[in-house]
A and B are shown apart, each in its own frame.
Chain A
Amino acid sequence: MVVKMYWISKGFIFTKVDSFVHKLDPRVKLLISIQFFTLALLVSDLIDLAIIFIGIILLASISKILSRLIRTMLFALLFSGIILGINIIAGYSFIYSLQIALRFVAIVCSTSIFFLITSPDELEYVLRWFRIPNDLVFAFVTAVRFVPIILLDALQIIDAQKSRGLELERGNPITRIKNFVPILVPLIVNEVIRSGELAEAMESRCYGVVKKPTVLYELQLNINDKLAIPFCTSIFILGLLFSI
């Protein structure tokens, strides 16, 4: 189960890929993601939803992240199955329930694709561009930065506890949740210690001296970005017109 969780989590973590889309300005990537998100919210027809999926898959293929996006899709399908079931039980028609469930998948995919094509560094620049306070930006960046490290810590603790006889996949669902206590306790202790060391390192590198720190690079739109904005926006407007 843990290995499966780790496999799925990779569908949400950015990895460097050399593609045209990855080289775009992060604000343009955000715009594209918002456009997909909006369309997924607005359309109601199954054919329209299918067109959105084709668009997302095309974008993922150009970005060379299709295999990763499939993991996200599988993860979303798991929940969409629950949504489908609940809607059918509630007395809605199968087609309507299917639309709701697929819309959920499209929304998750349009959000996930943004995180798969935007590096956390770029994400930070976007947040700063929106004038989010520095402390919030830094908290967000640090949280994202340490996700893979905490995952590795967790896997290491799981291995250590398994080698001492812990059986995670044993018992009923409640027992299985209880089985995770010996994992969570050392993990939390580890991360509390780590946060202390991080705080020391931040202090010793002058964090918080100026309210608005400078940044090494400035976001600048290049020719590809300037072409991508009208291209994507015109497709988005067309999509809007058709969905209405």
Chain B
Amino acid sequence: MKEKSIIKFENFSFRYDSANEFILKNINLEINKNELVILAGPTGCGKSTLLRSIIGLIPHMHGGEYKGRVIVDQLVVNDVKITDLAKKAGFVFQNPENQIFMFSIERDIVFGLENLGTSRTIMKERVDSILSLLKIEHLATKAPHELSDGEKQKAALAGILAMQPKILILDEPTSLLDPKTAIDFINIVNDLRKKIGMTIVIVEHRLDLVVGIADKLIILSNGKIIENNNPKQVLHYSNQLIPEIGIPVISRLYRNLAKSNYDFDNVIVTVKDMVKEMRRKKFND
């Protein structure tokens, strides 16, 4: 039978060498193919550790006490090299500056491919297709210091996409971007999912940017998963919502109105849905 899940955590716990306590405690989690999953939680709750354990930086680069198993596209993370996992899952770090190595963006896009010894013809094809996919052809020959923060983030994403991973992991990709650029970047990610059909795991504090497009919202607190469900379900019905995750204004409005017996036909998590709902109500009244 074909496996539905692409990332699987089985009783996974991890403690860094330098720490006394486990940062992640008995995590059991399945992420299915082509899902877009948001990972939220307060600072220091273990989000970045969870992401790093998907691409094998934990335990191969950061040592510590490792319990349980993490399986990524049928590879057990503990048993394979980071480079084997790099072909399955691509990681876009929070600060793009630290993952752009080369002086021209087109060279940086193929950095991973060069390291794999890919032929020049394939690299050229890949650069062209990624540049046009992200609509950044004009950045091809530019140097990293000539780019804006948003462009740097796109360039970092391009470098990851060139390796054609099945899973895309984004660690707070909008934290350095202004609101407009952040929205544009999230739209690009959503388009990618539609065009390429990737599994996307995204850590995001500005939930209002992503709840409308996500399949799952996972909330981590103190190293444990406290919520794992459809964003609408979590944001409306959960009694474990913690303020640190940055509950979207619309969700707070919806919850308050619903508490005051305002009759909604649907659960609302986005401004667009709220506008639709209000228009319908007005029309019906």
Question: How long is the Cα–Cα vector from A182 to B160 in the complex, in angstroms?
Answer: 37
- A205 in contact with B163 (CB, 8 Å): yes
In the complex, how many angstroms separate the beta carbon of B178 from the nearest chain A beta carbon? 19
Task: Report which of A149, A206, A215 forms a contact with B86, defined as CB distance below 8 A.
Answer: A206
Task: Report which of B97, B107, B115 forms a contact with A206, defined as CB distance below 8 A.
Answer: B115
- A145 in contact with B102 (CB, 8 Å): yes
Task: Report which of A204, A206, A217 forms a contact with B91, defined as CB distance below 8 A.
Answer: A204
> Of the 9-residue stretches A1-9, A27-35, A167-175, A193-201, which lies at the interface with chain B?
A193-201
In the complex, how many angstroms separate the beta carbon of A125 from the nearest chain B beta carbon? 10
- B114 in contact with A201 (CB, 8 Å): no
- A200 in contact with B107 (CB, 8 Å): no
- A203 near B: Cβ within 8 Å? yes
- Proximity string of chain B (82-96) to chain A, C-beta cutoff 8 Å, 1 when within and 0 when not: 110011001101010
Question: How long is the Cα–Cα vector from A63 to B82 in the complex, in angstroms?
Answer: 45
Question: How long is the Cα–Cα vector from A203 to B143 in the complex, in angstroms?
Answer: 22
CB contacts between A and B, total, < 8 Å:
103
Q: Which residues in B have their C-beta under 8 angstroms from that of A99?
A: none
In the complex, how many angstroms separate the beta carbon of B7 from the nearest chain A beta carbon? 16
- A141 near B: Cβ within 8 Å? yes
Q: List which A102-121 residues lie within 8 A (CB) of chain B.
A: 119-121
User: Given that A141-B102, A194-B98, A197-B93 are known contacts, is A206 also in contact with B61, CB under 8 Å in the complex?
Assistant: no
- B119 near A: Cβ within 8 Å? yes
Q: Which residues in A have their C-beta under 8 angstroms from that of B187?
A: none
Task: Report which of A120, A197, A206, A218 forms a contact with B116, defined as CB distance below 8 A.
Answer: A206
In this complex, the member of A16, A201, A212 whose beta carbon has the largest number of chain B beta carbons within 10 angstroms is A201
In the complex, how many angstroms separate the beta carbon of A211 from the nearest chain B beta carbon? 9
In the complex, how many angstroms separate the beta carbon of B17 from the nearest chain A beta carbon? 14
In the complex, how many angstroms separate the beta carbon of B59 from the nearest chain A beta carbon? 13
> Of the 9-residue stretches B23-31, B67-75, B120-128, B222-230, which lies at the interface with chain A?
B120-128
Which residue of the partner chain A has the closest CB to B89? A204
Q: Which residues in A have their C-beta under 8 angstroms from that of B110?
A: 216
Query: Interface size on A (CB < 8 Å)?
Result: 33
- A208 near B: Cβ within 8 Å? yes
Which residue of the partner chain B has the closest CB to A125? B107
- B95 in contact with A204 (CB, 8 Å): no
- Proximity string of chain B (102-136) to chain A, C-beta cutoff 8 Å, 1 when within and 0 when not: 11101100111111111110011001000000000
Q: How large is the interface on B (under 10, 10 to 19, 20 to 34, 35 or more residues)?
A: 35 or more
- A208 in contact with B115 (CB, 8 Å): yes
- B103 in contact with A213 (CB, 8 Å): no
- B34 near A: Cβ within 8 Å? no
- A214 in contact with B103 (CB, 8 Å): no
> Does more than half of chain B's interface fall in helix, strand or loop, or is it mixed?
helix
User: Given that A204-B86, A216-B127 are known contacts, is A121 also in contact with B93, CB under 8 Å in the complex?
Assistant: no
In this complex, the member of A200, A206, A210 whose beta carbon has the largest number of chain B beta carbons within 10 angstroms is A206
- A121 in contact with B114 (CB, 8 Å): no
In this complex, the member of A142, A148, A197, A204 whose beta carbon has the largest number of chain B beta carbons within 10 angstroms is A204
- A201 in contact with B99 (CB, 8 Å): yes
Q: Which residues in A have their C-beta under 8 angstroms from that of B82?
A: 203-204
Q: Which residues in B have their C-beta under 8 angstroms from that of A148?
A: 145
Q: Which residues in B have their C-beta under 8 angstroms from that of A124?
A: 103
- A241 near B: Cβ within 8 Å? no
Question: How long is the Cα–Cα vector from A202 to B110 in the complex, in angstroms?
Answer: 13
Q: Which residues in A have their C-beta under 8 angstroms from that of B213?
A: none
User: Given that A121-B103, A145-B101, A216-B107 are known contacts, is A203 also in contact with B61, CB under 8 Å in the complex?
Assistant: yes
- A207 near B: Cβ within 8 Å? yes
Q: List which B122-157 residues lie within 8 A (CB) of chain A.
A: 123-124, 127, 143-145
Q: Which residues in A have their C-beta under 8 angstroms from that of B86?
A: 203-206
- A141 in contact with B61 (CB, 8 Å): no
User: Given that A121-B103, A201-B98, A216-B107 are known contacts, is A16 also in contact with B93, CB under 8 Å in the complex?
Assistant: no
- A209 near B: Cβ within 8 Å? yes
- B159 in contact with A205 (CB, 8 Å): yes
- B93 in contact with A200 (CB, 8 Å): yes
- B55 near A: Cβ within 8 Å? yes
Which residue of the partner chain A has the closest CB to B165? A204
Q: Which residues in A have their C-beta under 8 angstroms from that of B106?
A: 216
Q: Residues of A with Cβ closer than 8 Å to B?
A: 16, 119-121, 124, 138, 141-142, 145, 148-149, 194, 197-210, 212-218
21 A-B contact pairs sorted by A residue (CB < 8 Å): A119-B103, A119-B143, A120-B103, A141-B103, A142-B101, A145-B101, A145-B102, A148-B145, A194-B98, A200-B93, A205-B159, A206-B83, A206-B87, A206-B112, A206-B116, A209-B115, A210-B116, A214-B118, A216-B114, A216-B120, A217-B120
Q: Residues of B with Cβ closer than 8 Å to A?
A: 52, 55, 57, 60-61, 82-83, 86-87, 90-91, 93, 95, 97-99, 101-104, 106-107, 110-120, 123-124, 127, 143-145, 159-160, 163
